[in-house]
Each structure stands twice: as C-alpha cells, then as structure tokens.
Amino acid sequence: MEAGKNNNLIVSVSPHLRSGESINRIMWTVTASLLPAYAMGFYYFGPKAVFVTLFCILGSMGSEYFVQKLAGKEISLKDGSAVLTGLLLGMNMPSSVPYYIPLVSSFVAVAITKQLFGGIGYNVFNPALMGRAFALITWPRAMTTWAEPTADFTGMDAKTTATPLGILKEQGVDKLLEVFGDKMHLYSELLLGHRAGSLGETSVIAILVGAAFLLVRGYITLRIPAAFLGSVAAGAWVFGGKQGIFTGDPLIHLLSGGLMLGAFYMATDYVTCPTTKKGQVFFGIGCGLLTILIRLKAGYPEGVMFAILIMNCFTPLIDRGFKTKVFGAKKKA
C-alpha cells in the first residue's frame, strides 16, 4: 500500500447523494394507502371480502415467485409490487366470486401480464386490470354477481343485487332514484360506499382519503385523475341525459362504478401511464372519454377497466408524441 492511498474508501460515480426513495417504499406506501378503502369493503361485504383479496394477494405472490424461480431470476417479492397488484385485483372483484377466480386471475395478472413481459417496469398493461379483464371475460356471470352490501357481517350468503350503474344502464335514472330514495340519499350512499359493486371500489370517501395521502406525499399528481374525472363528468353531463344534451348527471357517474379507484390507483400506475405532464393529461382525458363512451353506448354498464387498458396501449405512443420541451429548444417557426 502506498502512503496516502486508502483502500477502505469507496470510489463510485456521482451523484454521491441519493434521495432515499425506493421502489419498495413506493409500493408499500401505495398499498398502505389502500387500507381505508379495503376496510370499508370488509365493513360492507364481510369476511368474504377478506378471503377474496387474500387469495388474490397469495396468487400474485405465488405467481411472481413461480415465474422468477423458473426463469432463474432473483425473487423480488419484497418490493411489494406483487402484493399491491393482488390487493388491487381483489378490490376490483365482487365479494361473491368463487375462490378459484382470484387465483387464476392473479396468475394472469402477475405471471403473464407482468413477469412474462420482463417484470416490473416492462409490463405494457396494468396487471391488476388485466387480471380482472380476464376474469370478467372468462367468468362473466360470477364477475357480475354483486352482493348486497350489509354492515352486519352476513356477507357469506348475502342477497345479490345490481350495481347503481347496472340499474342506470338497464332501467334508467328514475329507477335508480326509486331504489335509493332521492338524489341526496343516492349521492351520500355512493360517497360512503353503501352500494353493490366490487368490494374495494364502492367507498368514494375512503378511496379519496388514501388518494389524498398519496397526493400529499407526492407519489401521484392530480394530472391523470383530474383529467380522467373531468372528462367523465363532462361526458356524462353532455351526453348522459335522456332529454338531449347537457342534461346528464355527472355526479352519479363520478361517484359510481370503479371510477375513483381507477382514476387514482389504476390510471396513475407509473409503469403503464405516460411520464410527461402533457402526456399524462392526454392519457387521463382519453381514459375519461372511453369510460363514458363504454358506459353510455357499449354493452357494459362500467367502462373504467377497458378504458384504462386501451389507453395503456397508447402510452408509448403518447410519450413519443408529447415529449418534454427541452430547455432552450428553438420554437417551431
């Protein structure tokens, strides 16, 4: 050893400081922020909700382990992304589904949609939504049989009923008001989540609490959700009424279905949404318009899932089309 040379010193490249942010922390924080909405799902739909979600999470983790083991890759379960996918997938299912559905669809979500495309970061589609789309198409009956929400833990063999959007689609807004009493009651029930639907998507309030936490922490921005919700509201108002344009009720559409969960948790998925500000706004508007198009004109009462999945396809293109403006770039003449 020459004098002055110190072989204990680390030599590495700049920058020598890091913010300390990590994928693990992001994933686990987002997972934690979902707990209020999940708790409400448990409250309304009972222990069955817990099992459905648990099977989704176990299925996701198992699928991740299986593929990574098979591919000889490092097991990345502790980064939390499989747990988050499983939780989101579970929250997007009716509480009444048979247990093989969570298992199979979480395999589709994690093994196929994520790992076979190269693992975290390389998936084109939101894994949880892909899993749900698969389930919806494969088991349409089971995936659209909605348990009536109760608060007395009788979810095991609860009565089934239609979702507000289902009623709206099949029987119109008058029937919806009849079921819920009046408009104010409808709104407040939707806000609290006392309605049929996927077990984690019903309580708008709880989802907003989690989303607010993520917004404050800077984990998500309002660009996608605001553009998404705004265009759904605008579309519902303009085209959603019976007596011509500008007569629809935007609030019913905003508060029902999987819109809030989709706008704040699915559309904002880092991997599958655009990275530039303008691109994100465009993406959000695209999601919103497709959602309202499907809800009003297509065969499904709900359109959030397909809207986001379709927009996921466009993400690379959007990122290309809405490149950032480089500092000092010449303005186009």
Query: Which of 159/323 has CB closer to another protein?
Result: 323
Q: Are strands 146-147 and 160-161 parallel, antiparallel or unpaired?
A: antiparallel
Binding span for another protein by CB under 8 A among 19-27, 83-91, 201-209, 287-295: 19-27
271 lies in the binding site for another protein (CB under 8 A): yes
Is the omega angle on the peptide bond into residue 102 within 30 degrees of 0, that is, cis?
no
The alpha helices in 98-198, defined as continuous H runs, are 100-106, 127-138, 140-143, 164-171, 173-180, 183-192
Q: Are 27 and 80 in contact (CB under 8 A)?
A: yes
Binding span for another protein by CB under 8 A among 1-9, 180-188, 205-213, 238-246: 1-9
Compute how many other C-beta atoms are within 10 angstroms of the C-beta atom of residue 25. Answer: 14
Residue bearing tokens 């186009």: 332
Encoded tokens for 109: 């979500």
Residue 269 CB, shortest distance to another protein, in Å, is 9
User: Residues 6 or more apart from 202 whose CB is under 8 A from it?
Assistant: 40, 41, 44, 149, 193, 194, 195, 196
Residue 327 CB, shortest distance to another protein, in Å, is 4
Measured distance CA(190)–CA(249) in Å, rounded: 14
216 lies in the binding site for another protein (CB under 8 A): no
128 lies in the binding site for another protein (CB under 8 A): no
Residue 318 CB, shortest distance to another protein, in Å, is 12
72 lies in the binding site for another protein (CB under 8 A): no
- Out of 108, 120, 311, 318, the only residue in the binding site for another protein (CB under 8 A) is 120
Binding span for another protein by CB under 8 A among 30-38, 48-56, 135-143, 272-280: 272-280
**One-letter amino acid for residue 54 of the chain:** L
Residue 21 CB, shortest distance to another protein, in Å, is 4
Region 311-330 residues binding another protein, contact defined as CB under 8 A: 319, 323-330
- Out of 62, 94, 119, 284, the only residue in the binding site for another protein (CB under 8 A) is 119
- Out of 118, 140, 172, 181, the only residue in the binding site for another protein (CB under 8 A) is 118
CA distances 174 to 31, 38, 148, 169, Å, are 38, 31, 20, 11
Binding span for another protein by CB under 8 A among 12-20, 102-110, 183-191, 226-234: 12-20
71 lies in the binding site for another protein (CB under 8 A): no
Interface size with another protein, residues (CB under 8 A): 43
Q: What are phi and psi of 33, to 5 degrees?
A: -70, -15
Q: Are 237 and 295 in contact (CB under 8 A)?
A: no
171 lies in the binding site for another protein (CB under 8 A): no
CA distances 59 to 84, 137, 220, 301, Å, are 12, 19, 27, 28
Query: Which of 90/279 has CB closer to another protein?
Result: 279
333 lies in the binding site for another protein (CB under 8 A): no
Contacting residues toward another protein, per CB under 8 A: 2-19, 21-23, 25-26, 79, 118-122, 270-271, 273, 275-276, 319, 323-330
